[in-house]
Structure 1
Amino acid sequence: MIELIVADRCTNCGTCIEVCPANVLDAGQGGLPILARVEDCQTCFMCELYCQADAIYVAPDCDRRVAVNTEEVVTSGRLGQYRKHSGWGEWADRFPNEQWLMETVFRRAGEAAARRKATSPDE
């Protein structure tokens, strides 16, 4: 689920707003995108893929929001990692586009959700 837009990195291009299939983002003051409807996020990573400024972090948990620390995400190298490993933009000549591997990611996320549900029967 989308968790973070790093304002210092954002160029206010609006591409993330345009590509989001679930209409999660709105243009805020000065064009900076805001998380308007996070609960509608499909964790498709389109916003993160198209963000050339690497200003967006989408957490892999598609069932619920997770707490993130902006400084930790920025220093961890997670920003732009999905674009890089997908071979988009400046990474096209060094990394193959392996979008087809997302099936594995989604299956693992579904299995993790099922395990959580099994261990927490009151959910």
Structure 2
Amino acid sequence: MIEIVSAERCIGCDKCVLACPTDVFDRGADGVPVIARQDDCQTCFMCEAYCPVDALFVAPETRPLPEGSELRDEALLTSTGLLGSYRARIGWGRGRTPGARLAVGPELPRALPTPPPAAPPRTT
């Protein structure tokens, strides 16, 4: 569930607002999106994936975290590298290797093998 929008990191691009399938965010007076309908969050991570500056944190929970949870502490999430980490894990962003390719295992062939030539027709 969405827990943090970092006002310090946010550039006001609204990509999270546009990516959210359940309209969780409203635009704040300062241009930074605010979590307006947290209970509507589907924990799909799309907002975090689309954020180009890693300003969001979606906790892997389906209910809001309790007050005082360390996963609601922006400073801790920043220092541990968790703030915006989903985007890095899936390989989105410049200089990153797409994570899905690594999760699948060996690379798939770039092209299908050439089929053998057909046998010549029989004549009788």
TM tier, shorter chain? 0.7 to 0.9
Instruction: Report % sequence identity.
Output: 43
Count of residue pairs brought into register by the alignment: 98
Q: Determine the structure 2 residue equivalent to 1:120.
A: none
Q: CA deviation at 1:97?
A: 2.9
Q: CA deviation at 1:91?
A: 4.4
Q: Determine the structure 1 residue equivalent to 2:110.
A: none
Q: Determine the structure 1 residue equivalent to 2:44.
A: 44
Q: CA deviation at 1:87?
A: 1.2
1:74 paired residue among 71, 78, 82: 78
Q: Determine the structure 2 residue equivalent to 1:89.
A: 93
Cα deviations across residues 71-109 of structure 1 (Å, max 9, x unaligned)?
1111110022111110112144x24336x99xxxxxxxx
Which blocks of at least 5 consecutive residues in structure 2 are unaligned? 105-124
Q: What is the TM-score with the length of structure 1 in the denominator?
A: 0.73
Q: What is the TM-score with the length of structure 2 in the denominator?
A: 0.73
Which blocks of at least 5 consecutive residues in structure 1 are unaligned? 102-123
Q: Determine the structure 2 residue equivalent to 1:27.
A: 27
Larger Rg over CA atoms:
2
More helix by share: 1
Deviates more, 1:77-86 or 1:34-43: 77-86
